[in-house]
Structure 1
Amino acid sequence: MNFKIPRGTQDILPESSALWQYVEQKAHDLCRRYNYKEIRTPMFEQTELFQRGVGDTTDIVQKEMYTFEDRGGRSLTLRPEGTASTVRSYVENKMFGWAGQPVKLYYIGPMFRYERPQSGRMRQFVQFGVEAMGSDDPAIDAEVIALAMSFYQELGLKGLKLVINSLGDKESRNNHRNALIEHFKPRISEFCGDCQQRLEKNPLRILDCKKDRDHELMNSAPSILEYLNDESKAYFENVQTYLSSMNIPFEVDPGLVRGLDYYNNTAFEIMIDGEGFGAITTLTGGGRYNGLVEEIGGPETPGIGFALSLERLLMALETQGIALPVESSIDAYLITMGDEAKRKAPGLLHKLRSEGIVVDTDYMGKKMKAQFKAADRQNASFTLILGDEELAQQTIVLKDLNTGEQENLSLDKAILKITESKRGEE
């Protein structure tokens, strides 16, 4: 029987995994600078967590979740996004009582959604996300947005566009909600079944519909910005002021609607503007979710965050021809001649590796010439040659493959020379 990888998933082979490691390390380093701490949550949770946290009216909950029943009869779901799990952990571990609020967290891990696989959109995908809980200061909204922008910029992406909007506080949203119902209701029969169901439950989601986006009522729908109360207006203006102070350009788009039910006040997306990226131009999205912590059983707590797909990021980097400086070489390759040298090789390799040297050797019984070719294929900086003569003298031949120079040295001096060369490259 021939087994094949499940649809919507991928094998990340060693050549590509180096790129993944690079961007993941960039995320770790950036979050360290912003003083966000990593959290790791389970890959499956109680189904109700996502129903309550993500929202019953979302496509994720209605159509895309991988849900199963365990042997105890409990309904569990592979996490489709990271915020609900992070907030659940925040509540369960009583992080709201920690000293040093707000609590600033980040995560990197696989998520799962049953949707039609396409370029940059997989059924199993990896998200990098951040969540800041405990502060309703608009300055932290700007900080979260700045972190996301910095991540893309430091990796070299060009043509980035930040789009922001305000979804308002509860009062503003309710007023806008009523206006949307009044706007769409007379002609709701012209919309898809999903939109018809959303009309009373969450009419804001109609604006995010892909099927009906060209309907004439979409362009004439009342803008949330027309219904912001004074407090929400002031909040949104402060966010814009802080972004301007960071020299981060942005556009205000009243039509920007995030796909999850828990967003309010600040909402944002970062898009990439350029040819060759396909139909999907949004790289990341996020926003403020005051009320989500209470929905999951915690105290009243404001929060804001974002999540981005690493697959989509890597696709954007490839499209723009950006080569990441990943390490694809080794420091040294050990070449052995004779049975005695072969027996000494494992101990010698272990010593070299314990000194921080990246080294490999032949395990296929190749002749000396083939071993040199193997060193070239692995882009080794040096070869270490060990034969009967070197064993007798307790030395080793060190050859610099960049200059062609070679010398007979003690092992300690050879190690010193390789490590000095590594420090010089750094």
Structure 2
Amino acid sequence: MSKQEKILAVKGMNDILPADAPLWELFENTAESILKSYGYQKIVTPILEETGLFARAIGAVTDIVEKEMYSFTDSMNGDLLTLRPEGTAGVVRAVLEHNLVYDGPKRLWYKGPMFRHERPQRGRYRQFFQFGAEAVGFAGPDIDAEMIMLCRRMWDDLGLDEVRLELNSIGNAEERLRHRADLIAHFEANIDTLDAEAKRRLHTNPLRILDTKNPAMQELVNNAPKLLDYLEAESLAHFEGVKRILDHNNVQYTVNPRLVRGIDYYNRTVFEWVTDKLGAQGTICAGGRYDPLIEMFGGKATPGVGFAMGIERIIELMKSGGEMATPNQCDVYMVHQGEAAQMQAFVLAERIRDAGLDVVLHCATPTGAGSFKSQMKKADGSGAAFAVIIGEDEMANATAAVKPMREMGAEQAVVPFDDVVDYLVDQITGGGGGHDHGDHTHCTHH
């Protein structure tokens, strides 16, 4: 029989391996706890949506819709479907479909995989994970500021201190139209300086030209008309309201007039949290106000604001901030030799789990059950606080040997089977040499 060729992951689709799982859990647990503390509720939407949802919300002439979406025709009924490229459109569709704001505004959060056919690079994949929040039905600058402060609390709790806030207002549609006309005129007057991508975007999405990284275009972009100069009283008052709350709460920010959005539904406040530690792709969280979106979907005019953060990029930033200690796979590792000892190990392991501790019971590999020495090596590698050892002598005396694994020179104890659970609970949760139960994501960021 010929050897089968190894199957690899699809290009741009990334595996999250067990070694990184503690960091992911730390981020997710921190984020969910903070969202809950601000009154946000979880919402889960499908990965697949009708293609028209994103074309209507994001804009047909954006890079996402034109080049990056994974879209296909359902072979069963001919429906045009798309793997979601972002989370806001699906959440707002659900809000409208289920009339979630009938009894007042809603604070919602979500997490999950998104899909874009982009060039894979550090912290950026074709299947990537986002954590986001949407506040629907709130009109004032206060909710914008609250979301920004929520993010700041998240960076503080994760120990990410090299993150900065950039802020801008893109006004309303009428203000952007006037700015757009002058922007196009400015670029047309300097057409020879534009690169091919800028020329392609000139009449479809000229705001995106302001995002260019082309050094030859920086002076031209810097001298371009600034959208802030086109804002009228209402938009300016909203923006000043956001800044006033942030100033009062000592939130540091930079007003960046080049900070725009390539998606049609954004208006007024836009913000990004950025870092210099991840190379060119330095944005780890982006958000803004999208008051027109629900009306674009056929609902009554309802204001909204939200943000989304790329989890992979945040994990990269967490890794760069310090080394993780060896994660604890368990509190207790069960070592046993012989069939009778194995049976007793199963019984004790279940009792210890009943008490709320995590237990890994040694099981046989293709090379056999393993000697005491090899099993103890596995116990050490598991990060367990204690090894519980049962062999022929222990079975004869109805006792287990309980060995501390994390204390140099700590002595092994002989404990009757009936007392093992109480002994371990006292040692691990009572400060007698173990670690606090549940602290399985040790990290040096705090």
Q: TM-score range by the shorter chain?
A: over 0.9
Give the number of equivalent residue pairs.
421
Farther off after superposition, 27-36 or 176-185: 176-185
1:7 paired residue number: 11
Whole-angstrom CA distance in 1 between matches of 2:319 and 2:230: 42
- Which residue is 1:341 aligned to? 341
Aligned to 1:302: 303
2:292 is aligned to: 291
Question: How far 1:329 moved relative to its partner?
Answer: 4.3
Residue aligning to 1:85? 90
Tell me which amino acid in the other structure corresponds to 1:77. T
Q: Distance in 1 between the 2:320 and 2:397 partners? A: 55
CA contact (8 A) 1:110 1:127 kept: yes
CA distance in structure 1 between the aligned counterparts of 2:209 and 2:335, rounded to whole angstroms: 67
The answer on whether the counterparts of 1:394 and 1:410 sit within 8 Å (CA) in structure 2 is yes
Q: Which runs of 5+ in 1 are unaligned?
A: none
Gap change, CA 1:236 and 1:251, over 3 Å in 2 = same
Equivalent in the alignment of 1:244 = 247
Change (3 A) 1:210 1:77: farther
Q: 2:44 aligns with which of 32, 35, 40?
A: 40
3-state SS of the aligned residue for 1:144? helix
Distance 2:23 2:270 in 1: 30
Any gaps of 5 or more consecutive residues in structure 2? 437-446
Residue aligned with 2:159, SS: coil
- Could you tell me the TM-score, scaled by structure 2's length? 0.89
Give 1:207 shift: 2.0
Normalising by structure 1, we get a TM-score of 0.92
Post-superposition offset of 1:326: 7.6
Residues 30-78 of structure 1 deviation map (CA, whole Å, 9 limit, x = unaligned): 1111111111111111001000111112111111000111121111111
> Map of 1:154-193 to 2, 5 A cutoff?
154-188=157-191, 191-192=194-195
Distance between the aligned counterparts of 1:161 and 1:35, measured in 2? 25
Partner of 2:225 in structure 1? 222
Contact between 1:258 and 1:286, CA under 8 Å: does it hold in 2? no
Superposition pairs of residues 264-343 of structure 1, within 5 angstroms: 264-274=267-277, 277-320=278-321, 322-323=322-323, 327-343=327-343
Whether contact under 8 Å (1:161, 1:273) holds in the other structure is no
- Map 1:130-149 to 2 at 5 A: 130-149=133-152
RMSD in angstroms over aligned alpha carbons?
Answer: 2.1
Q: CA deviation at 1:165?
A: 0.5
The alpha carbon displacement at 1:179 in A equals: 2.1
SS, match of residue 159 in structure 1? coil
Task: Tell me: CA distance 1:212–1:369, structure 2 relative to 1, closer, same or farther (3 Å).
Answer: closer
SS in 2 for 1:221: coil
User: Which residue matches 1:418?
Assistant: 424
User: Aligned pair in 2 of structure 1 residues 212, 75: CA closer, same or farther (>3 Å)?
Assistant: farther
Q: Which amino acid aligns with 2:355?
A: E
Q: For the structure 1 residues 358 and 132, does the alpha-carbon distance in structure 2 shift closer, same or farther, using more than 3 Å as the test?
A: same
Among 128, 131, 140, which residue is 1:128 paired with? 131
Partner Cα distance (2:154, 2:393) in 1 = 54
Judge conservation of contact 1:19–1:326 (CA < 8 Å) in 2: no
Match of 2:78 in 1: 73
Q: Percent identity?
A: 41
Contact 1:338 1:387 in 2 (8 A): yes
1:232 aligns with 2:235: yes
Query: Which region of structure 1 is more displaced relative to structure 2, 310-319 or 245-254?
Result: 310-319
Q: State the Cα distance separating 1:283 from its structure 2 match.
A: 1.6
- Range with bigger deviation, 129-138 or 350-359: 350-359
Query: Cα 1:240–1:303, aligned 2, differ >3 Å: closer, same or farther?
Result: same
The corresponding residue for 2:354 is 354
